[in-house]
A and B are shown apart, each in its own frame.
Chain A
């Protein structure tokens, strides 16, 4: 490993003002510089910031893209959302492993390269995708994977790789007011300044705007509670931690409509009286950072940010904080913990973020799309906004459409649009199921395609994944269930342990070892996790299993062994370590676990399964 140059570490620490609140930002910078945060670096940071070493260690181990060991010069993460799986990401992974002579999840001995899977990277419309040192390469083929491998073997810096490889396409398929409109920066702000904060807030209230992250909380209520809460300072936070698998609309908004996002945040600041805002950008979108920083700089030059915005007695600025790989950070109180440089563990509520957010001060935290919507309301008024959508869900919604469709991309529809309308528009045929709202949302089958996208029917943060009849829906459920088990933060016992139990159950079903009793047990365990978990992650982690057991029970039944008992453990799985040690994987090294009608184990017939 290269020697650590501590004068460089000092530069990186100074760039973050040696501020413990910026611990996550510091560790991201070190990870990028050294390919890992090994013990000497962690010790150095702990001493430099005067924080306990265990805290630094705890943060490094919490986030997916930080590591306690050095991983390598080139760090490749292949996206493993189900849509990437359907587009052949396993072949990409196999090619990379073969050409680079590397085992997934293990740094290569020479310290050159590391390859692993990661959750959805927000590139589902152009998968299979990967991130190499944070930069995206989409539409991968095995040929391209081999070319990437040869660039790495030749030691060519990523900056010299063909620029075309890193192109990310923004496919706007159906445009509504958000996507169709191009207005000059500052117009919404001028309109709101002309109204004054109270009248503008009333306008937002009248528009009925609800949070676009999926939960649908009334934006005006959140802003009012925050504004009225006493505190030393008020803060504006934009949740750009778009982690729900299958969602990528914030990627589009941040790429094409960053001005609108920042302007919406500025409107929020104007209403609640904030001087400081944060955009929390998910690690997978770190490649957007330079673009966003440039937009912020231009807006400062245009007097749309900074001191005396548009010559008024109103000052506000925005800082971009990077995430480091944690789905749970999309939960707003976990996001704020991460903003404070800590492990992204959801807080106990009450108190809520609106009154006790960043540094325990009043804070508004809204979705990227919500902020964009506030600029439209500022420009066109609440009455205009109310013209589209439904009574309880006014306005439009951006949908990220991916999976088995002819035209994946971004679709903007008024709330109330039917699932079938979207399927027709995106060219989906022979559709078996649609996952609305991502793994934490709802899985529906054709008889429900008349249902509407809205808070009162099918709520979604924007994810819309389509599966045709050639797909094994249980493989979809398995992917989602593994996702939750990997993303549980570990804070509360029902989610930490329960998501592992659900993962074991679906694996057992897929391996053909489960019985009818298993399905009943899953339902009971799932209910317990749902009712007792600390945050939305645990409360929704069982949805993929519960939805499909309810709607597609025959799929499960066809994979169950017939007897009414639950095998205590996986006989064949128990031999896995022995097989690895003895380097044997032949039929005789496997134990069958299928039972005949007398309850006797049938051996060898299914040799090879479960490995």
Chain B
């Protein structure tokens, strides 16, 4: 290896990268899927869901925040990491109230798809059954905190793309919750719009449009036929046409 050799090793394969890229960016560019929920390529990585935890030269770290160095040895698709990621996804499921069978996001939900990807078959941990407020005050959008995993994607999208700062996180520890930037604390009292990018970015069903439930039949939904690793990380893009 010399100073001009911009490759690193991901699961035994030599992968090229551009200086300044994170492991996640380089892997995505090379077509390698690393599970994630709070990462979105348009925003500064947050590294909070911890699903993209990989082993970097023998130490655990998050792929979305760690810059690649030449010759870096990164393990991603290993039994150890899959087992750890499964536990974290199970934690996310028991922390909130996730009712996949009747959730409108089912089949198009990243949380659910990642759960299948890591082989989650049960919740493993006892459910917390938290009491969380549903906010149906907005004419077009529903905020169902039961399904919120505190990834802060809507917070970032609203602030950075929509220029509105409609959302924020409040509380501490397991009482952390998504709050809305209005005196009443209600979404209906903000300038939030269904056309905002933040309205489309939720990886779960916490922010969903009203009056268009279950638009696609089972079998036709994004992750019905194939694993999220092959379907690809189909996140909405703020630049793409509708």
A residues neighboring B (CB under 8 Å): 39, 43, 52-55, 57-58, 60-63, 326, 343, 348, 350, 485-494, 496-501, 504, 524-525, 528, 531-534, 568-569
Evaluate contact between B171 and A53: CB separation under 8 angstroms.
Answer: no
Which residues on the A side are within 8 Å of B48 (C-beta)? Answer: 491-493, 534
In whole angstroms, what is the CA distance A39 to B182 when docked? 11
**B183 interfacial by beta-carbon distance below 8 Å:** yes
Q: With A57-B168, A500-B174 given, can you name 19 additional A-B contacts, CB distance below 8 Å? A: A52-B165, A54-B165, A58-B169, A61-B171, A61-B172, A348-B46, A490-B175, A490-B176, A492-B47, A492-B49, A493-B48, A493-B50, A493-B88, A493-B92, A493-B150, A497-B95, A501-B91, A528-B88, A531-B60
Evaluate contact between A52 and B168: CB separation under 8 angstroms.
Answer: yes
Evaluate contact between A348 and B65: CB separation under 8 angstroms.
Answer: yes
**B94 interfacial by beta-carbon distance below 8 Å:** yes
Q: Which of B105-135 contact A (CB under 8 A)?
A: 125-126, 128
In whole angstroms, what is the CA distance A43 to B185 when docked? 11
Chain B 43-69 interface 0/1 with A at a Cβ cutoff of 8 Å (1 = within): 001111110010000001010010100
Q: Which of B163-185 contact A (CB under 8 A)?
A: 165, 167-176, 179-183, 185
Which residues on the A side are within 8 Å of B47 (C-beta)? Answer: 348, 492, 534
Evaluate contact between A55 and B65: CB separation under 8 angstroms.
Answer: no
Which residues on the A side are within 8 Å of B92 (C-beta)? Answer: 493, 497
- Selected contact of A497 from candidates B53, B91, B181, CB within 8 Å: B91
- Selected contact of A486 from candidates B94, B173, B180, CB within 8 Å: B173
- Rounded to whole Å, the gap between the CB of B138 and the closest CB of chain A is 16
CB-CB under 8 A for A488 and B174, given A52-B168, A532-B84: yes
Evaluate contact between B181 and A52: CB separation under 8 angstroms.
Answer: yes
Q: List 11 A-B contacts (CB under 8 A).
A: A54-B165, A55-B168, A57-B168, A57-B170, A58-B170, A492-B48, A496-B174, A498-B91, A528-B87, A531-B60, A568-B126
Evaluate contact between A53 and B173: CB separation under 8 angstroms.
Answer: no
Evaluate contact between B91 and A62: CB separation under 8 angstroms.
Answer: no
Which residues on the A side are within 8 Å of B168 (C-beta)? Answer: 52, 54-55, 57-58
- Rounded to whole Å, the gap between the CB of B177 and the closest CB of chain A is 9
User: Number of contacts between A and B (CB, 8 Å)?
Assistant: 117
CB-CB under 8 A for A533 and B125, given A54-B170, A58-B179: no
- Rounded to whole Å, the gap between the CB of A172 and the closest CB of chain B is 36
Query: What is the chain B residue whose CB lies nearest that of A500?
Result: B174
In whole angstroms, what is the CA distance A362 to B206 when docked? 39
Evaluate contact between A488 and B173: CB separation under 8 angstroms.
Answer: yes
**B149 interfacial by beta-carbon distance below 8 Å:** yes
In whole angstroms, what is the CA distance A125 to B185 when docked? 44
Which residues on the B side are within 8 Å of A568 (C-beta)? Answer: 126
In whole angstroms, what is the CA distance A490 to B181 when docked? 20
Evaluate contact between A532 and B50: CB separation under 8 angstroms.
Answer: yes
Q: How many residues of B contact A (CB 8 A)?
A: 40
- Rounded to whole Å, the gap between the CB of B112 and the closest CB of chain A is 16
Evaluate contact between B181 and A54: CB separation under 8 angstroms.
Answer: yes
Evaluate contact between A54 and B174: CB separation under 8 angstroms.
Answer: no
- Rounded to whole Å, the gap between the CB of B166 and the closest CB of chain A is 8
Which residues on the A side are within 8 Å of B125 (C-beta)? Answer: 501, 525
Which residues on the A side are within 8 Å of B84 (C-beta)? Answer: 528, 531-532
- Selected contact of B183 from candidates A39, A485, A490, A492, CB within 8 Å: A39
Evaluate contact between A500 and B179: CB separation under 8 angstroms.
Answer: no
CB-CB under 8 A for A534 and B179, given A52-B165, A496-B174: no
In whole angstroms, what is the CA distance A556 to B89 when docked? 29
- Rounded to whole Å, the gap between the CB of B84 and the closest CB of chain A is 5
Evaluate contact between B179 and A57: CB separation under 8 angstroms.
Answer: yes
CB-CB under 8 A for A326 and B172, given A54-B180, A531-B60: yes
Evaluate contact between A54 and B179: CB separation under 8 angstroms.
Answer: yes
Evaluate contact between B53 and A490: CB separation under 8 angstroms.
Answer: no
- Rounded to whole Å, the gap between the CB of A352 and the closest CB of chain B is 13
Which residues on the A side are within 8 Å of B185 (C-beta)? Answer: 57
In whole angstroms, what is the CA distance A533 to B175 when docked? 18
Evaluate contact between B149 and A490: CB separation under 8 angstroms.
Answer: no
Query: What is the chain B residue whose CB lies nearest that of A53?
Result: B181
CB-CB under 8 A for A348 and B183, given A498-B91, A500-B174, A531-B53: no
Chain B 74-85 interface 0/1 with A at a Cβ cutoff of 8 Å (1 = within): 000000000010
Evaluate contact between B173 and A487: CB separation under 8 angstroms.
Answer: yes
- Rounded to whole Å, the gap between the CB of A175 and the closest CB of chain B is 39
- Rounded to whole Å, the gap between the CB of B40 and the closest CB of chain A is 15
Which residues on the B side are within 8 Å of A326 (C-beta)? Answer: 172
- Rounded to whole Å, the gap between the CB of A289 and the closest CB of chain B is 24
Which residues on the B side are within 8 Å of A497 (C-beta)? Answer: 91-92, 94-95, 174
Evaluate contact between A534 and B173: CB separation under 8 angstroms.
Answer: no
In whole angstroms, what is the CA distance A558 to B170 when docked? 41
Query: What is the chain A residue whose CB lies nearest that of B94?
Result: A497
In the A-B complex, the 3 residue pairs with the closest CB atoms: A54-B168, A490-B176, A497-B91
In whole angstroms, what is the CA distance A39 to B94 when docked? 32
Which residues on the B side are within 8 Å of A498 (C-beta)? Answer: 91
- Rounded to whole Å, the gap between the CB of A526 and the closest CB of chain B is 11
Which residues on the A side are within 8 Å of B167 (C-beta)? Answer: 54
- Rounded to whole Å, the gap between the CB of B13 and the closest CB of chain A is 24
Which residues on the A side are within 8 Å of B87 (C-beta)? Answer: 524-525, 528
- Selected contact of B173 from candidates A485, A494, A524, CB within 8 Å: A485
Query: What is the chain A residue whose CB lies nearest that of B50?
Result: A532
Query: What is the chain A residue whose CB lies nearest that of B92?
Result: A493
In whole angstroms, what is the CA distance A43 to B182 when docked? 9
In whole angstroms, what is the CA distance A499 to B91 when docked? 11
Which residues on the B side are within 8 Å of A490 (C-beta)? Answer: 150, 169, 171-176
Query: What is the chain A residue whose CB lies nearest that of B155?
Result: A54
Query: What is the chain A residue whose CB lies nearest that of B60?
Result: A531
Which residues on the B side are within 8 Å of A493 (C-beta)? Answer: 48-50, 88, 91-92, 95, 149-150
Query: What is the chain A residue whose CB lies nearest that of B178?
Result: A54
